[in-house]
Chain A
Amino acid sequence: MRRASLCLLLLLLTACTHLPGREARLYDELGGEAGITRIVEGMLLNIAGDPRIVGHFRDAHIERLRAKLIEQFCVVADGPCTYTGDSMPEAHRHLHLTPADFNALVENLQLALDAQAVPVTTQNRLLARLASLRGEIIDR
């Protein structure tokens, strides 16, 4: 047991220090523009069926939202895009989104990623980057 513990610990330590430069670009792992488009559309469809948060999107211009989300995911994934939408705090102003709302969105995104058969490790890379935006999204 002690040896197994040591091995796992070493494994974890190396995992934490491995170089990001060797990884494929997240944008490519997500399937490029076509893949990101399917992921965003899947997420929006899931949200449309989610009574917990669909209300927040009632006044949204869905076609514009779709386009801006695709741009944003592309930029977040180091893709060849420019984000032309509002800043995150601006886009969520007066929505009073809660931590629970944010997690509901994450779950709808996870379902979309699963539906596109995106590997778990790739999902985690995307989620880790989006998670850093949380502070600019909730409680605005």
Chain B
Amino acid sequence: MRGVICGLGLWLLAGAALAGDGRLLATGGASSLEGAAGGGITPWAVLTGYGERDQWGASAFATRVETGDYRLDAAGLAVAYDNRIELSYARQRFDLGSLARDLRLPHDSLSQDVLGLKLRLFGDLIYDRLPQVSLGLQHKRQKDFLIPELVGAQRDEDSEAYLAASRLILGGAFGYNLLLNAGLRYSRANELGLLGFGGDRRDSRSWLGEGSVAVLLDSHWAVGMEYRQKPDNLSFAGESDWQDLFIGYFPSKRLSVVLAYARLGEIATLDNQDGVYLSIQGSF
């Protein structure tokens, strides 16, 4: 894993040095929690950065979600080439906060690594007759498996796939540009994988829907909402679908900031996990 990350880092440097900016502002998206270009909790079909044909794009991000009981930190980087292929890496750290104190858990946080690959299959975000459709693969490795294993998770490492379709409709929302994203994921990751993969209740992968809608108020500001279905594999606690309302600011092709109000439902026995999501991305 470390070798891959080093390789990705070097590639990022190469990407940054050769980066193109052939795509329009905001069309590289922000960085999702799992590292792929997209919204906050779901990936989009777009590739990170602003590289068009024969150009590189790259990005690095840091995100924090704070619900009061829990805190999730994510950081990572992504590189894309030719507006065709994207490689990404993200490290997530889920701080168990009050749950760890109340239950005297052996760890006070859960971490995982996510390596991602995204391939644009066909279409274009704005111009082609068909929307942009991408296939994504993610390999996740949970790094503190003691607690997940105790609550019924079956494995600490797994791969999952998703298909994402994205379309920007010029003037599609009362004259404002409208961004639509829909995705279908095949996964058995519990709470993104932070609670391991598969469970005592269900150990096979599920088809999970995800999507988002955003309205671009101008070239720099976007507001919208996201929804992500989640599996429910562990019997010790329910796992809720996630949703959020967000506002994204793209002052330039170098920087983006996303602020969101997230409703994460029940996580590891604690219900009503509403919180604030803040993400900052630099792209090259």
Contact = CB atoms under 8 A, between A and B. Distances in A.
Contacts of A99: 22, 52-53, 83, 127
Most buried by B among A107, A124, A125: A124
Nearest to A99: B52
A91 interface: no
Interface stretch (A54-62, A64-72, A78-86, A126-134): A126-134
B174 A18 contact: yes
A15 B175 CA distance: 8
Contacts of B176: 120-121, 124
B170 A12 contact: no
A76 interface: no
A124 B171 CA distance: 5
B67 interface: no
B170 A127 contact: yes
Contacts of A95: none
A48 interface: no
B175 A125 contact: yes
Main secondary structure of the interface of B (DSSP, over half): loop
Interface stretch (B184-192, B212-220, B275-283): B212-220
Contacts of B20: 100
B52 A98 contact: yes
Contacts of B54: 98
Interface string B173-207: 11111100000000000000000000000000000
A125 B126 contact: no
Contacts of B127: 99, 131, 134-135
Interface of B: 20-25, 52-55, 83, 126-127, 169-178, 213, 215, 217-219, 225, 227, 243, 245, 263
Q: Shortest 10 CB-CB distances between A and B: which pairs?
A: A100-B22, A121-B175, A128-B170, A124-B171, A100-B52, A15-B174, A15-B173, A120-B218, A99-B52, A124-B170
Interface of A: 1, 4-5, 8-9, 11-12, 15-16, 18, 98-101, 103-104, 106-107, 110, 120-122, 124-125, 127-128, 131, 134-135
29 contacts: A1-B245, A4-B245, A8-B213, A11-B173, A12-B172, A98-B22, A98-B53, A98-B54, A100-B20, A100-B22, A100-B53, A101-B22, A103-B22, A103-B24, A103-B52, A106-B24, A107-B25, A110-B219, A121-B174, A121-B175, A121-B176, A124-B170, A124-B177, A125-B171, A125-B175, A128-B171, A131-B126, A131-B170, A134-B127
